[in-house]
Amino acid sequence: MWTGGRSPTKACGPVEHLVGLLDHCRSMGELRQILARIAVVGLLRDSFLVSKVLLFSAVSDAGDVNYSYRVFRCLPSPSTFVWNTLIRGFSRGSNPNRAMSLYVEMLREGARPDNLTFPFLARACARLSSLLLGSAVHGHTAKGGLGADGYVQNSLLHMYSACGDIGAARRVFEEIPAPNMVSWNSMLDGYAKCGDMVAARAVFDRMPRRDVVSWSALIDGYVKAGEYREALTLFGAMRGDGAGPNTVTMVSVLCACAHLGALDLGRRMHGFVEAENLPLSLPLATSLVDMYAKCGAMEEALAVFRAVPANKTDVLIWNAMIGGLALHGLSRQSLELFGEMQAVGVKPDEITYLGLLSACAHGGLVEKAGSFFRSLRAPQIEHYACMVDVLGRSGRVEEALSFVEAMPMEPSASVLGALLSGCQTHGWVELGEAVGKKLIELEPEHDGRYVGLSNVYAVGRRWDEARSMRRAMEKRGVRKAPGFSSVEVDGTVHGFTAHDRGHPSSAEIHMLLCSMAKQMKAEIDHPQLDDEDDEKSSG
């Protein structure tokens, strides 16, 4: 709502013409020309016109908030509306700290913040993940007499949830006399982001009504908590409830399919996206690529990837495709795609190099991996682990050891695990023993560390020591995680663990397995000759 200057309904003459130009402005180039015309006709002090200029440059997707600030500095006495416009622009820009600085400047200039100022500041704090600044903003709302304003309360609730202080969020929520949909969704999203899915589900079940944001927040929470089947079950309930999923929902659902390896279900979700004419946003396309790649359907992953114009891509979708090719041992294709990425001008990030190093590990491309590693300005511990894996897989275990010893930081469990794997594969038993013992010291509760060292002993035929690892696990109370497998039938993923009898068809499954085992044993004990062998034996 307009709070200062003249109403556009009262505009006339050149002002009316300039308002029309601003309403149809589509670029910063056009805006600069309009502002020049405003200056020429002597209307730079017209608060309504200048406010429209600032609104476009500070808030629109085609704008430039820094240009907006330069115009703003030329105004003799900006209204609260103008201050809010600039604070809003900075709160959604690349440097939200500028919103906070501008607020301080606003107070120094004697301008009075209102119920629109604080929600923009709360958004800036949320994007900065700064509870310190957020708490200060909360205090200023109380001092300004706006603590009971619904718009302000909802923005504070969202800020605390985004910053992970769910207790403070809950206190704000409880102070709202009549929580609306935004309030409920913020509370639900806060619990989901904190990983407290029991509380998130409780909020969801208490909500007087739900919208697509509510469903999507809970589904995404289950996905991030690793409860993929629950996420897919909830998606089915969402559709049954008549709520229409959006692209945000589908990104989470496809992520669940990817982690479960549910290719048929993922294909059905892709079909649903197309049937519902949901826009193929870049995050959605990236999720489809990732799902198909993790499920091994590389041709379908590539088809989705190629459907996105190169000039519309970002590093995330390139990483999904490069990493997917690397995951399935398609090293040459992965490196070729990286060449395409560079050609279109997309800048690689740390994840890109993890995918490239993985491709080199699968392809035995040691020298190429070294080149990629050296091109990293500040390699992370994960890159060191990948490089050790490259060397270990290729049999250059001694070189891998030297690489680890030369690291500028202490080797992590992932680095030592890669070295141990190389030792096991290539029979470096003594080194493997030393590395395995170090790993157990680092992660005494990790069952895989005992299994790894046991396998090294087995490679060296040191059977007593291999068996001693199980006793060491029992002594420390470490239990081996049961084996897990899954199978997808008609779009439903069935999961099984070792000695599991919880499946509804468990009895039938075990009967079939026993029958198959007996048949296999009979075939081994009494092999059947084929017709050709029968003729030979009778001849």
pLDDT at 502: 66
Looking at the predicted structure, is the pLDDT value of residue 307 above 90? yes
Average pLDDT over residues 304-317: 95
Could you identify the residue written with the tokens 């990286």?
338
Side-chain-side CA neighbours of residue 211 (13 Å): 10
CATH code assigned to 400-480? 1.25.40
pLDDT at 309: 94
pLDDT at 15: 81
Continuous H helices in 114-178: 117-128, 131-143, 150-162, 166-175
Average pLDDT over residues 397-404: 96
Question: What's the pLDDT tens digit per position in 139-173?
Answer: 999 999 998 999 999 999 999 999 999 999 999 99
Cα(119)–Cα(91) distance, integer angstroms = 10
Average pLDDT over residues 338-353: 96
CA nearest 377: which of 405, 349, 358?
349
Question: What's the pLDDT tens digit per position in 322-334?
Answer: 999 999 999 999 9
Looking at the predicted structure, is the pLDDT value of residue 286 above 80? yes
Average pLDDT over residues 347-355: 97
pLDDT at 63: 87
Cα(299)–Cα(303) distance, integer angstroms = 6
The structure's pTM equals 0.79
Looking at the predicted structure, is the pLDDT value of residue 22 above 70? yes
Average pLDDT over residues 27-45: 88
> Residue ranges per domain, the chain?
400-480
pLDDT at 532: 46
Question: What's the pLDDT tens digit per position in 50-99?
Answer: 889 998 999 888 889 999 999 898 888 899 999 999 999 999 999 999 99
**Residue 24 or 517, more confident:** 24
Average pLDDT over residues 9-24: 74
- How far does Cα 363 stand from its chain's mean position? 28
Angle value at C-alpha 337, between 280 and 266, nearest 5 degrees:
40
pLDDT at 50: 84
pLDDT at 139: 95
Cβ partners under 8 Å of residue 136, min gap 6: none
